[in-house]
Homo-oligomer: A and B are copies of this chain.
């Protein structure tokens, strides 16, 4: 089963957006995500509905953050994308089969618990803290500021 990387992509784009003072067009976002503008607009529509970003049409328009980085948790972004977290599903081929019911009940408990844990962890991480974790020491200086 293929994994869904929309959350990773969305977070990446959001952090680049945070570094700008002008709105970011879907074309710029697409370039930064390695995809195309329509896919971005489609994906980010969910984030807009959640208030995480806002978009404006027309000249000088584009996308900007809807609130501060510190007020956006990874869980909120995940939720807004309506992305599946746990890949394990349950079979429902034989709705009346007690064996199938017992199997699904056993799986449900474990899966729900893991999903809840992941959501808690993602809820505890803000975009601001991810932003702060960027290792700026690796960024080559644009110009030599003759440090030291």
Interface size on A, residues (CB 8 A): 60
Are B8 and A87 within 8 A (Cβ)?
A: no
In whole angstroms, what is the CA distance A32 to B91 when docked?
11
A8 to chain B, nearest CB (A): 4
Are B89 and A86 within 8 A (Cβ)?
A: no
In whole angstroms, what is the CA distance A136 to B101 when docked?
12
B residues near A32, Cβ cutoff 8 Å: 94
B residues near A118, Cβ cutoff 8 Å: 86, 110-111, 113-114
- Looking at A9-17, A48-56, A60-68, the stretch in contact with chain B turns out to be A9-17
Are A87 and B86 within 8 A (Cβ)?
A: yes
In whole angstroms, what is the CA distance A33 to B97 when docked?
11
Are B102 and A134 within 8 A (Cβ)?
A: yes
Interface assignment of A72: CB less than 8 Å from any CB of chain B: no
Say yes or no: A122-B98 contact (C-beta < 8 A), given A5-B90, A86-B85, A90-B8.
Answer: no
Closest to A82 in B: B1
New contact pairs (6) apart from A85-B86, A86-B87, CB-CB < 8 Å: A1-B2, A11-B103, A32-B94, A102-B130, A102-B133, A113-B118
Chain A residues within 8 Å of B, Cβ to Cβ: 1-5, 7-9, 11-12, 15-16, 32-35, 74, 78, 83-91, 93-94, 97-107, 109-111, 113-115, 117-118, 121-122, 125, 129-131, 133-136, 138-139
